[in-house]
Amino acid sequence: MFKKVLIANRGEITRRIILACRELRITAVVVYSDADAGAPWVRLADEAYPLRGVTAVDTYLNQDAIFAIASQCGAQAVHPGYGFLSENAAFAAACAARDITFIGPSPQAMEKMGSKARAREIAAQAGVPTVPGVDGAGLSIAELQTAVAHITFPMLIKASAGGGGKGMRVVWSAAEFADAVQAARREARSAFGDDHVLVEKYFTEIHHVEVQVLGDHHGQVLHLFERECSIQRRHQKIIEESPAPIVHDEDLRQRMAAAAVSLAQTVQYASAGTVEFIVDEQGHFYFLEMNTRLQVEHPVTELVTGLDLAAWQIRIAAGERLPFTQADIRQRGHAIECRLYAEDPAHNFLPSIGTIPHYHPPSGPGVRVDDGITSGSQVSPYYDPMLAKVITWGHDRAEAIAKMERALQDTAVLGVTTNIPYLLAILREPHFRQGQTSTSYLADHMAGWQPDSAVSEEAWLGAAVFELLQGAGKGQTGAAAAVSTTAQPDPWNSAVAWRNVRLS
């Protein structure tokens, strides 16, 4: 087992990996930008080293700086988390060249699955159903339009490299096709340095279902069942759950799982990874892509299987053999994850930046919180605005939803606007409760959503707490400070601790 691991990431996933390292008795090393110097995960780590600058390019994507720190601290391995360098095959290869273990799949597996076009070919060879489509490499717009003539509208144009919705366009008619291809190629070139695009059939009523896989370096690949991630905004997931509501029968579940394992075995996959599918209302499924990393939504799989994916990533990278078989893994109960963002859903989801003077996460039976903030944290404009993930587990879906509703109501994030009211509105919406959660869910049921105009008692209480915290340690707060003329501060207007009993 490794003695020291460097975590090349930030935020809640860094904290999650630190905890896994501690359980494995591994020294956890983190790097941090100038903007993250006071972050709680920096204080939690065993060792922390600065990356000068604030932008992602200058800091968490700066391979030279990260390797210099790895050499300085004597790290034997690097865990990339997700995002940033997590699916960068060149970085993984550079780690190997420096005799540093990359905690993730091999560079070869990442390269094969990193290109959507190549991944599609490999999936077809592995017997995995694929969406009707055409590879646009080397084709002019006119040639591409001829090649896709057999596909009915709407169509989806998507970048072969990257993800996150960049380089992606939905085309509803032939008149839009040329402009959409140009826009997708332009955006893909800017985001990924590669304008290679695919054109596929676009399904309007479809579900996004993914299968978690786990493979070791001894040839064993297992599946950890499925998650549904259909509730998305601009191709970014908001709510994830397992089991998937659209998977109504065990036959469909097992066929998808077998397809995911087959694909992973084909590329000799060793680590945690996710094979993504789209599923229609009739139970037909098609390969979408493979994510060669830990997913943001991995906690829901951990709660329904009892397996620690972050720890197993590390143990697999250290050469351990999976000690369990497929028959040993059970899908138990139901888990849901909600992503908490610093953004304003009432105003086109504009990011909200500033200081969080008070943060109170939820707790209680069946509630888990993965976060990277604390009271006093700064929300900067330089990185993704996700603050935390709230995950709940119940014996069934109804219980998991009830726990999530209570958990979000118990969550306080003062100083910035969050999407908590929006998430609560989704949880209470009848179609969501019935499991009718296709990828068009938000457009169909949440378009034009606005929060209640009335200020709740909880909001007033939050404002009062904020006022008290602002005056903490100053002896007095608010208007009382302006009118008091006594030599000693009035304890009823003080935010500091005091006693009203005599100590003997």
Which tokens in the block code for residue 280?
A: 């229609």
| d(C-alpha 353, C-alpha 342), whole Å | 7
DSSP 8-state class, residue 130: B
How wide is the angle at C-alpha 12 spanned by C-alphas 451 and 424, nearest 5°? 20
Q: 16, 227, 293, 315: which one is catalytic?
A: 293
Can 185 be counted among the known catalytic residues? no
Q: What H or E segment, with its residue span, contains residue 219?
A: none
In residues, how long is the chain?
A: 504
Integer Rg of the chain from CA: 24
Q: Dump the DSSP string for 292-343.
A: -S--TTHHHHHHHH---HHHHHHHHHTTPPP---GGG----SEEEEEEEESE
- Which residue has tokens 């940033």? 84
59 is written with which tokens?
A: 């800091």
The C-alpha atoms of residue 267 and residue 114 are separated, in whole angstroms, by 12
Determine the Cα–Cα distance for residues 439 and 246; give it in Å rounded to an integer. 12
- CA 88 vs CA 53, 189, 301: distances in Å: 21, 17, 24
Q: Give the integer Cα–Cα distance in Å for 310 and 330.
A: 18
* Residues identified as active-site: 293
